[in-house]
């Protein structure tokens, strides 16, 4: 937009309202949001490509929280406090007064001599609760405003149900705007008008500064209405123009129902963009992505997928069904089924799931397999390694091409501190192992099934860490007589040796325990 603009641009975002219909005691209206941004964040994201010289955000209700959020998402924006809310015109008047203290174009700021200034030119005013606004619609509004030289140019929509909106009353020939009437002040004929104001305006800055100082509160709400500036300009014979945008781009959010509608509309818009860029979305109705998500061509999103935060997915990967991926990086040609991942890094050619949980600090190298009911946390897993099922890997480093047996637990917490486990490359650990950290299993080492590993295992060694098995013959028949188990044991013993007493005890075997183990390739 900046290359098409001749005049300096100042943006004023109105974000001071309480939003009582949101029914939220904890969250200011403009901080509610969806798709990884607040309502205010969506508005500022739409404004950013316009490259304004300055952006002022009028804050009021819960202004500390809004100002803090503003600092996080748009530190160059200028918060302007509207301590008492007396309408949109009042908010703009306060904003312009504050900006005037910063000086006009070419002047030094009176409050910060090192800060560039940008008054005069065009002022773009828009609400902080209109998250569906697009940069394209705003850019078109500004270009049209400068092309016509109008005192003001409005962004309007034609809606099926205009209840609650300010009605736009056109001039007799329909080419311009004669006035805007708030719903509460409209008569029957005016209420029938379906063209409504989106409360988005491009103004001549100097004319606006003069007009807002002449606003009256003599109306049904006792407020200074910004739309009344339009009437002032028309009365002075100045041109007021208008451009139209789809209602789906100008709709505001006043309650949780409208918040849900805006989220659905915005999500559909994002998914359509991704699909046109080469992403397959099998079920858009159950697929949700944040605005900050990056998807390469040939990604496949299956039903019931949520991609949140700064997540990126490489080409050829398939996510879902039933997966939630947050602030994670997924490489190319990987498959994640029924997976929850937070702050994880997944390489290429990786398979995860179903029913796996990748917690923060998980790093899976290329061609890793993480299977069913596996949980990882702060785990660095080397190329080609397999963790097939029923395992917890926490605070661990695992080398390349290692196999972790089923039902293993990396015992990382002693009740006070977390400790680290290291498993080398090409190792084979048995099923039902406990690795009591800190402990190291060397390259090429094996561990027997059922072992509790508390000491380091040298490379190439077999670790057997389990009690010797002892069979107490006849225990069930003696101690559980009359139970189905005792009856079954007696029948089996009789069938095997009819002449032998069923309860005759046998001495414990002195045969050494086998070194066999169970691994899960």
Domain CATH code at residue 206: 3.90.550.10
Residue 284: which domain range?
279-463
Taking CA atoms, 471 is separated from 432, 474, 505, 516, in Å, by: 21, 9, 10, 18
pLDDT at 182: 84
pLDDT at 104: 55
Assess whether 386 and 324 both reside in one domain. yes
Continuous H helices in 308-355: none
Assess whether 370 and 237 both reside in one domain. no
Taking CA atoms, 63 is separated from 19, 31, 70, in Å, by: 13, 11, 10
Averaged pLDDT, groups of 10, the chain, 521 residues long: 68 94 92 97 98 96 95 97 92 95 55 45 97 97 95 96 89 87 90 94 96 88 89 94 95 94 98 98 98 98 98 98 98 98 98 98 98 98 97 98 98 96 98 98 98 98 94 95 96 78 51 46 46
164 is in an annotated binding site: no
302 is in an annotated binding site: no
Assess whether 184 and 228 both reside in one domain. yes
Q: Which tokens in the block code for residue 257?
A: 């129902």
Assess whether 110 and 238 both reside in one domain. yes
Beta bridge partners of 78: 56
Work out the burial of residue 434: count CB atoms within 10 Å of its CB; fewer than 13 is exposed, 13-18 middle, 19 or more buried: middle
403 is in an annotated binding site: yes
16 is in an annotated binding site: yes
* Total structural domains within the chain: 2
Identify whether 255 is part of a domain. Answer: no
pLDDT at 4: 56
Assess whether 40 and 178 both reside in one domain. yes
pLDDT at 173: 86
104 is in an annotated binding site: no
pLDDT at 187: 93
pLDDT at 115: 38
Query: What is the C-alpha separation between 271 and 321, in angstroms, rounded?
Result: 16
Identify the three-state secondary structure at position 73: helix
Assess whether 166 and 289 both reside in one domain. no
Assess whether 224 and 323 both reside in one domain. no
Assess whether 437 and 305 both reside in one domain. yes
Identify whether 125 is part of a domain. Answer: yes
Q: Which tokens in the block code for residue 41?
A: 């964040």
222 is in an annotated binding site: no
Of 90, 145, 342, 389, the active-site residue reads: 389
pLDDT at 76: 95
Q: What is the pLDDT of residues 439-453, one digit of tens each?
A: 999 999 999 999 999
Q: Give the strands of the sheet with 446-447, arranged side by side.
A: 428-429, 446-447, 462-463
- Name the DSSP letter for residue 106: T
Catalytic site includes residue 389: yes
Q: Which tokens in the block code for residue 292?
A: 């900050």
Continuous H helices in 277-376: none
Identify whether 359 is part of a domain. Answer: yes
Identify whether 479 is part of a domain. Answer: no
């Amino acid at each position: 937009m900046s290359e098409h603009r001749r005049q300096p641009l100042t943006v004023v975002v109105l974000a001071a309202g309480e939003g009582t219909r949101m029914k939220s005691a904890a969250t200011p209206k403009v901080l509610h949001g969806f798709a990884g941004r607040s309502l205010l964040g969506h508005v500022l994201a739409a404004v950013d490509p316009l490259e304004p010289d300055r952006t002022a955000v009028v804050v009021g209700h819960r202004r500390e929280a809004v100002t803090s959020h503003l600092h996080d998402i748009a530190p160059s924006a200028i918060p302007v406090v509207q301590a008492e809310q007396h309408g949109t015109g009042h908010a703009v008047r306060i904003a312009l007064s504050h900006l005037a203290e910063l000086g006009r174009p070419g002047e030094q700021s009176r409050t910060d001599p090192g800060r560039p200034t940008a008054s005069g030119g065009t002022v773009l005013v828009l609400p902080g609760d209109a998250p569906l606004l697009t940069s394209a619609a705003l850019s078109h509004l500004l270009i049209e405003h400068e092309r016509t030289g109008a005192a003001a140019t409005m962004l309007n929509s034609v809606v099926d149900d205009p209840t609650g909106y300010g009605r736009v009353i056109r001039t007799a020939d329909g080419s311009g705007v004669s006035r805007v009437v708030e719903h509460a002040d409209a008569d029957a004929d005016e209420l029938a008008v379906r063209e409504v104001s989106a409360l988005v305006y491009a103004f001549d800055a100097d004319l606006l500064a003069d007009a807002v100082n002449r606003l009256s509160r003599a109306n049904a709400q006792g407020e200074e209405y910004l739309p009344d500036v339009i009437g002032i300009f028309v009365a002075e014979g100045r041109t007021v123009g208008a451009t139209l945008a789809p209602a789906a781009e100008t709709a505001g959010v006043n309650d949780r129902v409208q918040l849900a509608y805006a989220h659905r509309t915005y999500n559909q818009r994002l998914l359509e963009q991704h699909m046109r860029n080469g992403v397959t979305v099998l079920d858009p109705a159950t697929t949700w992505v944040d605005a900050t998500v990056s998807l390469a061509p040939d990604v496949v999103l299956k039903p019931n997928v949520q991609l949140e935060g700064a997540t990126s997915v490489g080409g050829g990967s398939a996510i879902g069904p039933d997966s939630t991926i947050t602030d994670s990086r997924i490489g190319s040609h990987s498959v994640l089924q029924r997976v929850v991942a937070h702050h994880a890094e997944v390489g290429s050619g990786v398979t995860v799931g179903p029913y796996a949980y990748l917690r923060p600090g998980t790093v899976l190298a290329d061609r890793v397999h993480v299977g069913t009911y596996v949980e990882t946390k702060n785990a660095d897993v080397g190329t080609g390694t397999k963790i097939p099922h029923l395992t917890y890997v926490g605070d661990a480093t695992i080398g390349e091409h290692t196999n972790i047996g089923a039902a293993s637990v990396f015992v990382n917490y002693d009740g006070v501190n977390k400790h680290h486990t290291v498993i080398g490359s090409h190792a084979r650990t048995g099923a039902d192992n406990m690795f009591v950290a800190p402990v190291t299993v060397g390259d090429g080492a094996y561990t027997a099934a059922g072992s509790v590993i508390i000491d380091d295992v040298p490379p190439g060694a077999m670790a057997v860490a389990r009690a010797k098995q002892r069979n107490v013959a006849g225990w069930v028949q003696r101690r559980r007589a009359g139970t189905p188990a005792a009856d079954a044991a007696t029948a089996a013993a009789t069938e095997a040796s009819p002449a032998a007493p069923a309860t005759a005890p046998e001495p414990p075997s002195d045969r050494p325990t086998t070194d066999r183990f169970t691994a899960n390739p």
